[in-house]
Amino acid sequence: MAILYDTYFVVALSFVLFLAILWRYDVHGMVLRALDARADRIRSELDEAKRLREEAQALLASYERRQKEVESTAQDIVARAREDAKFAAEQAKADLQNAVDRRLRAATDQIAAAEGAAMREVKDKAVAVAIAAAEDVLRGRMTPEASAARIDASIRDVAVRLN
């Protein structure tokens, strides 16, 4: 029985007995089931993480599309506002030019009317002065008989022209 005093043999025998006990009570099955359960849990967590990652990527892509749409819309709004402002400026310029043209025409018309009135007034005064001068000249040279003859001739001349 010297073999029982050999430490290697005793350790080997203890190890084999330990394994037999483990086998008998199905410890390896429990360990395998625990490892399988843990592997399943890890696998489900990985699947969940993969699903969440895909959702996050889809959400990110959606937000990026929305951002591009919003930027495009903003650029369109800015471009439209610039066009509207340019059109409004051109319209205001045209309206101002029209108003200036109208006022210029009105001023020109007023000047022409004032010129016409001044010309008529000058002509009227010239006629009045000429009549007064002619009257003075005629009074000084004309006798009453010659004056009556001239009036009669003028009346006949008017009668001929009216008929």
* Amino acid sitting at position 7: T
Average pLDDT rounded to a whole number, residues 64-72: 96
3-class secondary structure, 163: coil
Give the pLDDT score at 163. 62
1 vs 17: which has the higher pLDDT: 17
DSSP the chain: -GGGG-HHHHHHHHHHHHHHHHHHTTHHHHHHHHHHHHHHHHHHHHHHHHHHHHHHHHHHHHHHHHHHHHHHHHHHHHHHHHHHHHHHHHHHHHHHHHHHHHHHHHHHHHHHHHHHHHHHHHHHHHHHHHHHHHHHHHHHH--HHHHHHHHHHHHHHHHHHH-
Domain map of the chain by residue range?
A: 2-122
pLDDT at 134 over 80: no
| Separation between Cα atoms, residue 131 and residue 125, nearest integer Å | 10
| Separation between Cα atoms, residue 105 and residue 101, nearest integer Å | 6
Mean pLDDT (the chain) is 89
Contact of 81 with 74, CB cutoff 8 Å: no
Q: Residues 49, 51, 52, 54: what is their CA dihedral angle, to the nearest 10 degrees?
A: 120
- pLDDT-based confidence at residue 57 (cuts at 50, 70, 90): very high
